[in-house]
Structure 1
Amino acid sequence: MVVLAVAVFVTLSSCAVGCPGSTNSTELKLWSIENQPVAVQLASVFKEMESLRWEQARLQQQQHALAQMHKRSHRRRAQQEVGTNILTYGSNDDEKDDPHLSEDDSRRRGDPCFHYTVLDQAWRATNTTTKVKMCDRHVKWKGWYRLYYKGRSLQMPERCVPVNKCGTHSPLWLVGRHPKRRNGIVTRNVCGHWKKNCCAFRSTPIKVKKCRGNYFVYKFTKPSSCYLAYCADINTLVCGRCRRNQSCVSRDKINWRCKRKKRMSSRKIHFFASYPGQLKGKVNRIKYSKVLVNVGRAFSRRTGTFRAPVKGIYQFFFSTQAASAGVKTDLWLVVNGYWVAVSHTHVPRPSSVGSLSTYMTFLRRGAVVYVTHNCGRSWANAASTTITFGGSLLAQWK
């Protein structure tokens, strides 16, 4: 046992002297426990051997990482010197036989978000017209692609593109919206615009995926005919720079720009009207002819109706004065044809009773509101305001 320990020590001592970055700490530590039992000495020796093996593995991993960084940097410089506009990103050739790949790297191996070809061709932009028309049917499409415009990432258009744009006769655009990240890889149809028909050419469907970092990759296929070419939506760059107080606008739907939004001032809408007479039985729509307030001119004296000029929250009130014993009187507030609130009176003996009802609701622009006299008798004269209808805009909805 003592001979074995000495042999192991000699091996470690030779490595300690010859190996880079090593010291004689192993030798000193072994001799410091020379008076310990043989089992303790062997355990210490094996512990030092494992530490050296781990250190050697770590150095190998660092050396491999530096070599990979050097290869990528060299490839990037070479591509920039050539000046090509179609670059390959994330080739699998360097990773096929790499024993140092982590589990995360292994998952990325088949993910198109990390292995795609950059397609940076300015003529594909939606605002570009060229004399020489291009056709993607002549391209040997292979794998996945990411669209760029002068070094900046963008995506395919989701709407019809005018003819003779994108450097071709019939521009290809994506039918349907781009997927979300949780959707994974999806299949989308592609259409080509020609002769005022946005989908005159139904090309072969393509695959699309959204990647972390808010960009998309596409698995393009050969179009059905010539001259068709895939478009790159230049508006992705323009509209993506608009601030919260700006909107993306365009006159020709081709060239877009950011424009400051107009602040919507809350409109003032108030009205109050009365009916200067008596009502009996059923009156489908009360025409309140005496209009006292009509700010915003949303109430019509001729029809007795209120039409909401803006979207928002409104409050209405309506009243009646019943004067017939034993007869019930009902007035209903009608919103877009629905009876929503009632003003009810029932006089058991000869007397006069007034009733006032209020109603608050959300209305869209163009909603129609009026009051109907369903039954009974309501009393009023030219000097009184007992049969009334009014309302106001409380909050405008943007």
Structure 2
Amino acid sequence: MVVLAVAVFVTLSSCAVGCSGSPNSTELKLWSRENQSMAVQIAAVFKEMESLRCEQTTLQQQQNALTQMHITSHQKRAQKEVAGTNVLTYGSNDDEEDLPKEDLPEEDSRRRGDPCFHHTVLDQAWRATNSTSKFKMCDRNVKWKGWYRLFYKGRSIQMPERCVPVNKCGTHSPLWLVGRHPKRRQGIVTRNVCGHWKKNCCAFRSTPIQVKKCRGNYYVYKFNQPSSCYLAYCADINTLVCGRCRRNQSCVSRDKINWRCKTKRRMSSKKIHFFASYPGQLSGKVNRIKYSKVLVNVGRAYNRRTGVFKAPVKGVYQFFFSTQSANAGQKTDLWLVINSYWVAVSHTHVSRPSTVGSLSMYMTFLRRGAKVFVTHNSGRSWANAASMTITFGGSLLVQMK
């Protein structure tokens, strides 16, 4: 029976080695009962078995290495695809880190340190303001690192801006944001957070956090460990509607309970132009010239009865004013006055019998409601009903928010 088993094993092993097609394959030798003893035959067979076992182990290790390389390559491709969708944790590309900074695309360079593109999704339903649970959570036990964006069952959500009842948000004392969420132009801001307990909405004044608004009407938060347990950051279930707001909309609420998407009013560029003249002569000091002959007054910002231009919007304005003097040896000065400040002068000095005209221009930034007029400080200015020698005018160049 032993000889039969050895013969069968040797035959199978020879087939396995021979089928590999390797020119270095080892052929097993069979001994007859007359030439060798049974002990020698069995020893030779076990030696060949050990050799085959070693070759099989080597092949298995090589196969595992190839499989691991394939898995690693697939994971890198998957991470790049995920980072492009802004869904999970964002980070820099391994390939990009090897490139010099000047070789990176400009857009990627700007996004490298922006938490709107480098944050972790925090989707835990127990954080919702309508959630109660038997087991209370404590965010002091969490190792917070970096920035986070709140989700509720896959939908974007934000922290509450109002006091939350106790035992909500899966904890004893829910943490809510003190103050409004920032606007996008404000960048990163610091906000206080409070925990509600025993009818005191701010019984626990926890460690402040940082907040930033991102394109797409969502916020990212840089959470810190709360001051004690059991406190946890809340996600306001009422703000789910904010995730559906379009780019030209903002999410607003009067009571911090009912939220809605409000379309932003686009500021139309207001047209402001005026041109007026004084049809007569001025002598000596005139505190405010009332240019009564108004030829252009688009926007109705100039008042002919008072001679004052009042800026209707904030922006950049340009003004001009002129005079003409005819008396020899006399100096004539007209000043442009803005909010009681003398800012520009139109000056003439006639040295011999003749007429001299002077035109001055001035550009400045004005806030809404600023008042502008012209004063005749000294000298003598000449004009008549048909001439345009004593004039005042201006235009809005750029309107600003």
> What TM-score does the superposition give when structure 2 sets the normalisation length?
0.56
Q: 2:250 aligns with which of 224, 247, 261?
A: 247
Aligned twin of 2:372: 369
> The residue matched to 2:329 in structure 1 has which SS?
coil
> The residue matched to 2:245 in structure 1 has which SS?
coil
Contact 1:116/1:144 (CA < 8 Å) preserved in 2? no
Aligned twin of 2:62: 55
Aligned twin of 1:300: 303
**TM-superposition CA deviations, 1:239-280 (whole Å, max 9, x none):** 454333333343444433333334443333222222344333
Q: 1:344 aligns with which of 338, 347, 357?
A: 347
Deviation at 1:314, TM superposition (A): 2.7
Amino acid at match of 1:289: S
Aligned twin of 2:294: 291
Contact 1:275/1:290 (CA < 8 Å) preserved in 2? yes
Aligned twin of 2:51: none
Contact 2:249/2:261 (CA < 8 Å) preserved in 1? yes
**TM-superposition CA deviations, 1:106-163 (whole Å, max 9, x none):** xxxxxxx999975313742xxx6x9x8x999x54442147643233344435xx4256
In the alignment, structure 1 residue 218 sits paired with structure 2 residue 223: yes
Mapped partners of 1:135, 1:300: distance in 2 = 71
CA 268–151 in structure 1, closer or farther in 2 if over 3 Å, else same? closer
Contact 2:162/2:178 (CA < 8 Å) preserved in 1? no
Contact 2:324/2:358 (CA < 8 Å) preserved in 1? yes
Mapped partners of 1:317, 1:361: distance in 2 = 12
Aligned twin of 2:362: 359
Contact 1:117/1:144 (CA < 8 Å) preserved in 2? no
Aligned twin of 1:204: 206
Mapped partners of 1:335, 1:166: distance in 2 = 59
**TM-superposition CA deviations, 1:46-75 (whole Å, max 9, x none):** xx99x958725515747999xxxxxxxxxx
Amino acid at match of 2:372: V
Mapped partners of 1:268, 1:64: distance in 2 = 64
RMSD: 5.2
Q: 2:335 aligns with which of 332, 336, 339?
A: 332
Q: How many residues align?
A: 301
Aligned twin of 1:70: none
In the alignment, structure 1 residue 27 sits paired with structure 2 residue 24: yes
> What TM-score does the superposition give when structure 1 sets the normalisation length?
0.57
CA 246–348 in structure 1, closer or farther in 2 if over 3 Å, else same? same
Unaligned runs of 5+ in 1: 1-13, 29-47, 66-88, 91-103, 105-112
CA 395–282 in structure 1, closer or farther in 2 if over 3 Å, else same? same
Aligned twin of 2:5: none
Deviation at 1:327, TM superposition (A): 1.7
Contact 1:122/1:150 (CA < 8 Å) preserved in 2? no
**Percent identity of equivalent pairs:** 62
In the alignment, structure 1 residue 120 sits paired with structure 2 residue 117: no
CA 215–344 in structure 1, closer or farther in 2 if over 3 Å, else same? closer
Q: 1:273 aligns with which of 238, 256, 276?
A: 276
Unaligned runs of 5+ in 2: 1-12, 26-54, 73-87, 90-96, 98-117, 213-217
Structure 1 segment 27-46 matched on structure 2, within 5 A: 27=24
Structure 1 segment 127-146 matched on structure 2, within 5 A: 139-141=137-139, 142-144=141-143
Mapped partners of 1:16, 1:57: distance in 2 = 25
**TM-superposition CA deviations, 1:23-82 (whole Å, max 9, x none):** 444737xxxxxxxxxxxxxxxxxxx99x958725515747999xxxxxxxxxxxxxxxxx
CA 240–163 in structure 1, closer or farther in 2 if over 3 Å, else same? closer
> The residue matched to 1:244 in structure 2 has which SS?
coil
Amino acid at match of 1:161: R
Deviation at 1:320, TM superposition (A): 0.9
CA 373–167 in structure 1, closer or farther in 2 if over 3 Å, else same? farther
Aligned twin of 2:38: none
Q: 1:152 aligns with which of 150, 155, 168?
A: 155
Structure 1 segment 358-397 matched on structure 2, within 5 A: 358-397=361-400
Mapped partners of 1:223, 1:250: distance in 2 = 31
Deviation at 1:366, TM superposition (A): 2.3
Contact 2:273/2:395 (CA < 8 Å) preserved in 1? yes
Contact 2:323/2:359 (CA < 8 Å) preserved in 1? yes
Mapped partners of 1:171, 1:284: distance in 2 = 64
CA 245–139 in structure 1, closer or farther in 2 if over 3 Å, else same? closer
Mapped partners of 1:171, 1:276: distance in 2 = 73
Mapped partners of 2:138, 2:338: distance in 1 = 62
In the alignment, structure 1 residue 161 sits paired with structure 2 residue 158: no
Q: 1:260 aligns with which of 257, 263, 277?
A: 263
